[in-house]
Amino acid sequence: MRSNIGIYGHRGFSGCYPENTMIAFEEAESIGVDGIELDVQMTKDGELVVIHDEKVDRTTNGAGYVKDFYYNQIRLLDAGSWFDPKFSNQIIPSLSEVLAWVKGLDRKLTVNIELKTDRIDYINIEKKVLSKVYEYQLNDQVIISSFNQNSLKRVRELDPFIQTALLFIGVPANVLEEARILRVNGIHCEAQFALSIEGQKMRENGYPLRVYTVNDPSYVNALKKARVSIIMTDFPNRFLSL
């Protein structure tokens, strides 16, 4: 399977470690994933932080919206104990922290940065993310994805060459048209789309299919037949060993 489908750790190795923390990313890398997927939100003072939800309630000991925290406040939150008390030393990482770590690795690791702008349209987040990617010279290792088409438009206007991907749910019939308008380079979809006629149409038109979030290895053969490029999973260990 490894020669056909790449494996990305979804929010890192989030099935066994607290999602979107450095330990989740480090453990995913240590077992040989091809890439990691992470989510970016923005603090009140404009710092980019890696957390999935708009609010900190689910994955920290705090409460409230990320946008209402200053960076120095959000760094004080415990981002690990909710998963297991032994991870109480984990904090919400900054995007800079993750990219600096990726840059320091002795191999190339792809980073899928999801812009979490589908509920809160953070001002200038696209420009800020691109600036960080440039700062660490990771242009050729980054894919920027989003459910928010306006965010993808802004990214493409700012950078004609960075890899972008359209994120969506289900099996919509107009994805090819949207992908062309947005000038994205790939499709991030559920397995049902990849296995559908619409999904195969996208692949035949040159769009790689990267499928989220697959945790059951029994799907692998079907996804291989569908010529999926990437599987994103909370449990990369289940797939790397196949």
Residues classed as catalytic: 10, 52
| Beta strands in the chain, from DSSP E residues, in sequence order | 6-10, 35-42, 48-50, 110-115, 142-146, 163-167, 186-189, 209-211, 230-233
* Residue appearing with tokens 């589908």: 118
Find residue 127's DSSP bridge partners.
Answer: none
Contact between 33 and 240 under an 8 Å Cβ cutoff? The reply is: yes
DSSP assignment letter at 112: E
Cα 36 from Cα 75, distance rounded (Å): 22
Residue 117 half-sphere exposure, CB side, CA atoms within 13 Å? Answer: 24
CB 113 within 8 A of CB 40: yes
Count other C-beta atoms under 10 Å from residue 107's C-beta. 8
Q: Exposed, middle or buried, 232 (CB in 10 Å: 0-12/13-18/19+)?
A: buried
Q: What is the CA radius of gyration of the chain?
A: 17
User: Beta strand pairing status for 35-42 and 48-50?
Assistant: antiparallel
